[in-house]
A and B are shown apart, each in its own frame.
Chain A
Amino acid sequence: MLDKNGIAKRIAKEVKDGYYVNLGIGIPTLVANFVQDDIDVEFQSENGVLGMGPFPFEGEEDADIINAGKQTITTMPGASFFDSATSFGMIRGKHVDLTILGAMEVAENGDIANWKIPGKMVKGMGGAMDLVASAENIIVAMMHTNKAGVSKLLKRCTLPLTGVGCVTKIVTNLAVLEVTENGFLLLERAPGVSVDEIKAATEGDLTIDSEVPEMAI
């Protein structure tokens, strides 16, 4: 079974040379720590920066340079700043190659819910609805089940949707899955996790080819 860093490490393998990548808040943010050194990648943050770098050294924080999680950041050589309309032009216009975000629920048809739990606090969708409506390559990073042990990979989402039929791949603490016309296709198992355990933790339709390899991370 993977921890949050393990999930991020596995997703980092999906980041290819020449990609512009948007990372959501939470596990997705950790992906930047594991991207290979020998490829060229630029991270976009929807509040208006392309070419995001690591956190600043203590004493070098700048209130005017933050990411979408409102954290102080630095920029890499070649970075640029822009306004919010331009930022979402990059996203809506499909100029960003890969979007990695968290979710509360994903359905076997690729629907995603991650912005609202009715009756509880509604924090808002931020940029998530814009991202999932336009991106063609969307990877969800999340735990396979919620804290109560209930599957987050469902036949249909029960929470208000963020987007419809948009998720392409899911990396959880248990598995890597692809969304296909026949539901979730199991691609890889996390180290030490059996196919049966994944089956038991998945409510939506799960397609299993004869041999499911263990993740190499």
Chain B
Amino acid sequence: MISKKVDNVQVALSGVKNGMTFMLGGFGLCGIPENAITELVRLGIENITCISNNAGVDDFGLGLLLQKHQIKKMISSYVGENDEFERQMLSGELEVELTPQGTLAEKCRAAQAGFPAFYTPAGYGTEVAEGKESREFNGKMYILEEAFKADFAFVKAWKGDAAGNLVFKGTARNFNPCMCGAAKITVAEVEELVPVGELDPNNIHVPGIFVQRIFQGSNYEKRIEQRTVRTRG
């Protein structure tokens, strides 16, 4: 067994520098790498480019990095839940590249799987296609999208082991598996780091080869963005 285990978030994030490009898993606030974000805020790394489906809310998730003006550019599909984000974008402080959600996921997966680029129909005929090569296949038009290049991927899983194997829970899976192995270094934080051998090899969602560092996370808040319930009876 090749161990990927590191003692804490400080060791896990060693090597992060100003100006780097980071991938961060999560959909809304669901499945975000809370510990890595807190550490990036503490380190005060600046001028970073974040690839993340959303930008958090004002006081949680990537919103914490926005508050401190640490983000230079966001690459996301939907950013509608964050007032500070809106303010920084409209004032020109923040660069934003909006990307269709499926394209965003596939640009991660392509980087993971060694594809430099792929054709997708999403965005053909829209401003997303501007400046991109387009091509017809079987009578339908597609645009060429390139794989992401990133320095670090920060992902969050439910369970993991020292081998770097990961298991996710519910829809907290989302972009996390697509980002594993899609950056030079993948850092996984887990709610529960279990002894090697405990996870059933049949039920591993991400094999450890895609993960370089794994650590036991702590103090998960797991904030709910839209609490919707029905009444009994």
Chain A contacts to B: CB under 8 angstroms: 45-49, 54-58, 60-73, 81-85, 87-88, 91-92, 111, 121-130, 133-134, 160-164
Contact = CB atoms under 8 A, between A and B. Distances in A.
22 contacts: A48-B174, A57-B232, A65-B171, A69-B226, A70-B29, A72-B224, A72-B227, A73-B228, A83-B174, A84-B101, A85-B109, A111-B125, A122-B98, A123-B80, A125-B128, A127-B77, A128-B100, A129-B100, A129-B128, A130-B100, A133-B124, A164-B125
A130 B121 CA distance: 7
A64 B171 CA distance: 6
A11 to B, nearest CB: 21
B80 A121 contact: yes
B142 to A, nearest CB: 9
Contact of B171 (A66, A92, A127, A130): A66
B228 A84 contact: no
Contacts of A56: 228-230
Interface string B20-38: 0000000111110000000
Contacts of B44: none
A45 B79 CA distance: 18
A125 B100 contact: yes
A158 to B, nearest CB: 14
Interface residues of B, number: 58
B27 A160 contact: no
A122 B128 CA distance: 14
Contacts of A85: 102, 105-106, 108-109, 177-178
A48 B102 contact: no
A46 B222 contact: no
A81 B101 contact: no
Given A127-B101, A161-B126, A92 B121 contact: yes
B68 interface: no
B39 interface: no
Contacts of B15: none
Contacts of B86: 121
Given A64-B169, A64-B172, A163-B126, A57 B77 contact: no
Given A48-B173, A161-B126, A63 B30 contact: yes
A48 to B, nearest CB: 5
Nearest to A129: B100
Given A130-B100, A130-B103, A70 B230 contact: no
A65 to B, nearest CB: 4
Name the residue among B168, B223, B224 with the largest chain A CB count within 10 angstroms.
B224
Contacts of A49: 170-171
Given A88-B101, A92-B121, 11 more contacts: A56-B228, A68-B27, A70-B27, A72-B226, A72-B228, A81-B171, A83-B175, A83-B205, A124-B98, A126-B101, A129-B123
Contacts of B106: 85, 88
Given A55-B228, A85-B178, A124 B78 contact: yes
B231 interface: yes
A66 B27 contact: yes
B122 interface: yes
B74 to A, nearest CB: 10
Contacts of B171: 45, 47-49, 64-67, 81
B53 interface: yes
B93 interface: no
Contacts of A66: 27-28, 30, 170-171, 224-226
B47 interface: no
